[in-house]
Structure 1
Amino acid sequence: MSKKLEWHLLALHPNELNFNEENLAEIKIGGRHLCIARFHERLFACAAKCPHAAAPLAGGYVNVQGDIVCPVHRYKFNLETGRNTTGEGYFLKTYPVEEREDGWYVGIERDNWFGF
């Protein structure tokens, strides 16, 4: 069974987002706190906090491989899959991002009690 996504307008243009010097921004959208990363002219969305120690990922950076790096323990996560690339076994929740004619959107799963 596929998950139902609700698409939320992230920005009309990426320059509207308040990126820090590491091209990371923390936002609240669709009832979720997300970290938005800009890497090679693409936008990625993931949970705002590291799954290991809940550090704010917007305080980290994106390395040359495209992994977001936690600012506290330097755990690394693939921005597309959420997989922990440094081997600790954690998984970072990621969200799809789409560029459309009228802006950039992020897909967030609907909260359903019974999966309907």
Structure 2
Amino acid sequence: MFESVKQWHKIGEAETVFQWQANQMCVIEVAGKKITLARHQEGLYAFAYKCPHASGIMADGFVDALGQVVCPLHRYRFNIKNGRNTSGEGYYLKTYPLEQRADGIYISF
């Protein structure tokens, strides 16, 4: 059976190094990939740069009170933790694991 190997990449020393927008989201580039970061209820989350439906830039959307990230184009909603579509269209938003370690914040893919 094939097991995928996760590679961890350090993305910053702390949350304060990122250029957060008013909606508590930002875009970073890691290993040639654009990733959206979001802060919500004391948590830090990472997910795809673009919506899987019509390629809306997810960082231009918002996170609602239920922890759903909302695409700015058609208001499709996705669970910020697992990427499941919560508005019923059947799409899936890629999410990435994050770890806050003593020496910084890391992302895996």
**Letter paired with 2:71:** C
| CA distance in 1 between partners of 2:70 and 2:14 (Å) | 25
1:24-63 aligned at under 5 Å gives the runs 24-63=25-64
| CA distance in 2 between partners of 1:43 and 1:30 (Å) | 19
| CA distance in 1 between partners of 2:4 and 2:85 (Å) | 23
Q: Give the 3-state SS of the residue equivalent to 1:5 in structure 2.
A: coil
TM-fit CA distance, 1:31 = 2.0
**Runs of 4+ off more than 4 Å:** none
**Letter paired with 2:6:** L
Q: Give the 3-state SS of the residue equivalent to 2:59 in structure 1.
A: helix
**Letter paired with 1:15:** T
TM-fit CA distance, 1:11 = 1.2
Equivalence for 1:73: 74
**Letter paired with 2:81:** E
Equivalence for 1:7: 8
TM-score, with structure 2 as normaliser: 0.95
RMSD: 0.9
Q: Does 2:94 align with 1:93?
A: yes
**Letter paired with 1:55:** G
Q: Does 2:19 align with 1:18?
A: yes
TM-fit CA distance, 1:14 = 0.3
| CA distance in 2 between partners of 1:74 and 1:63 (Å) | 11
TM-fit CA distance, 1:10 = 1.5
Structure 2 alignment gaps of length 5 or more: none
TM-fit CA distance, 1:3 = 2.2
TM-score, with structure 1 as normaliser: 0.90
